[in-house]
Amino acid sequence: MTRLRPTVAEIVEQTLALYEDLDFSYVRAWKSKSTSRRAVGFMPVYMPREIIHAAGMLPVGVMGGGDRLDIIKGDAYFQSYLCHIPRSTIELALSHRLDSLDGMVFPSICDVIRNLSGMWKLLFPEKMARYLDFPQNFDPALGGRFYRQELESLRSALSELNALPPQDSALTHSICLFNKNRRLVKALYDLRASKPWLVPTYEAYLLLRAGNILDVEEHTQLLEDYLVRVESEPRKPMDNIRVIVVGSFCEQPPLGLILTLERAGCYIVDDDFVLASRWITADISKTGDPLEALVEAYLKNSTFHSSKFEGSTPKWRHLIEQVKARQADGVVFAAPSFCDPALLDQPQYEKGLEEAGIAHTTFKYAENTGQFQNIREQIGTFSDSLKLWSEAP
Amino acid sequence: MTTPPAARPPEIHKEPSMLLQKNMLADYFTRVSKAREEGKKIAYTFVPGNLTELLHAFDVVPVYPEINALQNGMRKRSAKFILDAEKIGHSEDVCTYVKADLGMLLNGNVGPTGEIIPEPDILLLSYTGCFTFMKWFEILKQHYPKAEVVMLQVPYQGEGTPTPAMREYIVRQLRESVIPAFERISGHRFEEDRLREQLRRSAEAEEGLVFALQSARRRPSPIDAYFGGVYYIGPMFTAFRGTPECVDYYDTLREEIQNRIDAHAGPITPEGPMAEEKYRLIVEGPPNWTHFREFWKLFYDEGAVVVASTYTKVGGLYDQGFRHNPDDPLGTLADYCMGCYTNLNLPTRVELIEKYIRDFEADGFLINSIKSCNSFSSGQLLILRELERRTGKPGGFFESDLVDPRYFSAANIKNRLESYLQMLDQRRSQAVA
């Protein structure tokens, strides 16, 4: 029997429901199918999900509570000058919404997420909590070797959760599944860049967020369905400018903010939302030692990012290349308040863009920002200024 | 009508070790400013996980941007520097050490003592316990395009203990990346014996620092281990470790403290010997530098002595037994880097403070939460709860900043401190009753 593909509207409805479900019901349902099933959460920005998947577990991206979670207990754990995502993540856990997760991985991105790993150990000693360090030295013999040891250590910790030894064949299989998924995410981003009127970022974003929760094969199917269906959507180009959004890689902007950017006259043709699904930019090798393949992918084929050390090349070079590749008219720096990685990079990016004559604008947000009018006016003005006064092509 | 002469500010009381350190610092900044003339190379680097002995082994002059920033903060120069950095786009949300350093650069890189700090030949990024360090040197690299950046990644102790793999990673980076870069830039071959000699002196001086820190177990404590402590760690954590001057400094300090112990005397404050020791406290977090004396005075006016602090461990946990080992020069540098306080995970930090509360018979503990420093600050409210739960001792919480005077409110801190100490009094009276 032929499977009937869901419509775009149905896909959006499904992904929106996943996005809004702060109880992680999908994870609970997935685990309920077998008592041996385990789920492991991970924080932004990047996590080699293949390792969790290969252990027979569900990798679950946790990106805070957004704007739909009342912070009742979380504020008591963080000073006012710290970003919002740790307090909403603690809130999720203290309100038992993360009970379905058997462990959490805190990848190296900044000191706040790093320290959150220790808070987890203190608050939830019965759960696995791991800090995952990434190499800042990109020499395979140095940083590569260190990263491999980190991954081996993580693998051992995971195997303690379900008492199953790690298997290379399983890891290779997982790599293949995630390769396919990444190719489709790339196709989604490429389609949005070439026909942005066809793929609103609102929808692309929800699809990406669904990938944080769904089993990878299910998510891959969803991406395939969307990419087929959306081509026949009766959507027409508008007189929007093309922008790249930078700085929103960890604490996520509320969905309303993404909609606001689009309604203010912007096609978002690239961004750094939900980067875990796009961190690795090429297929990971499916031959040879799979752990080594993950290491090599990180060292050679990972995207540029604020959490990665750039010792000799100017920070902005990659961004300018991205602007050119995506034929963007400008850059919107949208960073969460108190986000060290994004905000410390921002002046460097701005300098590079100014030297290259690329327009940009800046604002800050929090994941629970509720008022978008001032942002709409700012971005609307930015969009109008580029449309009205930039040089004609 | 004649204007009456302005009242002279009270003379600041300084012990011989403080005067010695003052002279050491003045000489150091002069040495830095003249390094170019003397044909020496300059490395900018950070305090936690610093490789001072290694730099000395190459005859390279170390410069510490954090120290410049804090010294500028103490001299009331940082406010303008921070504003200047914000004017060129640096966010009000980020680390003020970075902005104070950039502001100094934008204003001609005139250092705290008024002498120009030359451009670096090398930016030695010892990436230890602080994410901002990485960003800081990426930014500086854009200002100093000729300087070479050398990264030494020090893995975080996420699981609470350093692993052999972490140690090996650091040693190999030192051997294969850091040392070759220093050989290339300094023009000197690496001489392990020279490094050993430095490390031997480091270990000798470290004994002196530990003597000072441990002296606070006595009643009364002859030192203040936070406000006074930042002076005591000065030579050890910066450009002097491994030098004969550093050993001399700690010999002087030891003698001074021993004299106070013999006299059953308390710490020396800027206004002279402290009166009665009424409260023994532990402090977590860095101090505020822009109002350092005012901050300290709030404590000693109340008879509150800090008997142990975590800030005095950012450059190494010598009091927990670590000593540089000249017999394993690179391995010991790796151990040192990994053991710095902000490279410890939160459970280990809690255990350490808990140990201080017990070992130093503290009445309670305070957290000075620094807006600029996520590495220290994130998680401190849980540290507070956890310590209260484990020890039954009350915790207090302040907020201030490192070098941004906009975030120091003396009145707020005074109110909080007074309320906190009143609470300690009440507990004592309840215990007696």
pLDDT interval class at B317 (50, 70, 90): very high
Phi, psi of B368 (to 5 degrees): -100, 105
Q: Is A304 helix (H, G, I), strand (E, B) or coil?
A: coil
Q: Determine the pLDDT at residue B273.
A: 93
Read off the pLDDT of each residue in B64-87 and give the average, rounded to a whole number. 97
Q: Determine the pLDDT at residue A121.
A: 98
Q: What confidence tens digit (pLDDT) does each residue in A281-291 have?
A: 999 999 999 99
Nearest Cβ partner for B127 among A115, A136, A343: A136
Nearest Cβ partner for B374 among A110, A130, A345: A110
CATH 3.40.50.300 fits B194-432, yes or no: no
- Residues in B closer than 8 angstroms to A111, CB to CB, are 130-132, 374-375, 378
Q: How far is CA B324 from CA A91, B47, B99, B318, in A?
A: 43, 16, 33, 9
pLDDT interval class at B1 (50, 70, 90): very low
Least confident of A37-51, A72-86, B3-17: B3-17
**Does the structure show a pLDDT above 70 at A272?**
yes
Q: Determine the pLDDT at residue A393.
A: 44
Contact at 8 Å (CB) between A250 and A114?
no
Q: What is the dihedral of CA B283, B284, B286, B289, to 10 degrees?
A: -30
Closest CA to B105 of B60, B133, B75, B139: B139
User: Percentage of chain B with pLDDT > 90?
Assistant: 95
Nearest Cβ partner for B381 among A77, A112, A117: A77
User: Percentage of chain B with pLDDT > 70?
Assistant: 97
Q: How far is A81 from chain B (nearest CA, A)?
A: 6
Q: Determine the pLDDT at residue B3.
A: 54
The half-sphere exposure of A168 on its side-chain side, counting CA atoms within 13 A, is 9
Read off the pLDDT of each residue in B405-433 and give the average, rounded to a whole number. 92
- Please list, in sequence order, all residues whose beta carbon lies within 8 angstroms of the beta carbon of residue B251, skipping any fewer than 6 positions away: B208
Mean per-residue pLDDT over chain A, rounded: 96
Residue of B nearest to A335 (CA): B91
Q: What part of A 314-333 touches B (C-beta under 8 Å)?
A: 314-315
Rounded CA separation A338/A366 (Å): 9
CATH of the domain spanning B16-190? 3.40.50.11890
- Count of A–B CB contacts within 8 Å? 168
CB atoms near residue A35 (< 10 Å)? 6
A136–B345: do the CB atoms touch at under 8 Å?
A: no
Q: What part of A 49-88 touches B (C-beta under 8 Å)?
A: 76-79, 81-82, 86
Read off the pLDDT of each residue in A196-221 and give the average, rounded to a whole number. 98
**Does the structure show a pLDDT above 70 at A106?**
yes
Q: What confidence tens digit (pLDDT) does each residue in A112-126 have?
A: 999 999 999 999 999
Domain boundaries, chain A: 24-168
Nearest Cβ partner for A347 among B90, B153, B165: B90
Which residue type does A47 have? M
Residue of B nearest to A123 (CA): B382
- Residues in A closer than 8 angstroms to B122, CB to CB, are none
Read off the pLDDT of each residue in A101-112 and give the average, rounded to a whole number. 98
Domain spanning A24-168: which CATH class is it, in words?
alpha beta
Q: Is A103 on the interface with B (CB under 8 A)?
A: no
Q: How far is CA A66 from CA A71, A80, A158, B259, B378, in A?
A: 10, 17, 28, 60, 20
pLDDT interval class at B79 (50, 70, 90): very high
Q: What confidence tens digit (pLDDT) does each residue in B189-228 have?
A: 999 999 999 999 999 999 999 999 999 999 999 999 999 9
B382–A77: do the CB atoms touch at under 8 Å?
A: yes
Residue of B nearest to A337 (CA): B93
- Residues in B closer than 8 angstroms to A333, CB to CB, are none
Q: How far is CA A310 from CA A145, A307, A338, B86, B127, in A?
A: 20, 9, 21, 23, 13
Q: What confidence tens digit (pLDDT) does each residue in A296-314 have?
A: 999 999 999 999 998 888 8
A344–B369: do the CB atoms touch at under 8 Å?
A: no
- Residues in A closer than 8 angstroms to B156, CB to CB, are 108, 114, 131, 133
Residue of A nearest to B123 (CA): A311
Contact at 8 Å (CB) between A195 and A291?
no
Q: Determine the pLDDT at residue B214.
A: 98
Q: Determine the pLDDT at residue A388.
A: 86
Read off the pLDDT of each residue in A350-358 and give the average, rounded to a whole number. 96
- Please list, in sequence order, all residues whose beta carbon lies within 8 angstroms of the beta carbon of residue B129, skipping any fewer than 6 positions away: B48, B49, B154, B156, B314, B340, B341, B342, B343, B344, B375
Q: Is A146 on the interface with B (CB under 8 A)?
A: yes
Q: Determine the pLDDT at residue B5.
A: 58
Which residue type does A215 have? D
Name which residue leads in pLDDT, A389 or B310. Answer: B310
Q: What is the DSSP letter of A367?
A: T
Contact at 8 Å (CB) between B234 and B20?
no
**Does the structure show a pLDDT above 60 at B242?**
yes
Contact at 8 Å (CB) between B41 and B24?
no
Please measure the distance between the N-terminal and C-terminal CA atoms of chain B and give it in whole angstroms. 61
**Encoding tokens for residue B78?**
């940082």
Residues B41-54 as b/e (b if ≥16 CB within 10 A, e otherwise) read bbbbbbbbbbbbbb
Q: How far is A283 from chain B (nearest CA, A)?
A: 28
CB atoms near residue A186 (< 10 Å)? 14
Domain boundaries, chain B: 16-190, 194-432
Read off the pLDDT of each residue in A162-166 and give the average, rounded to a whole number. 91
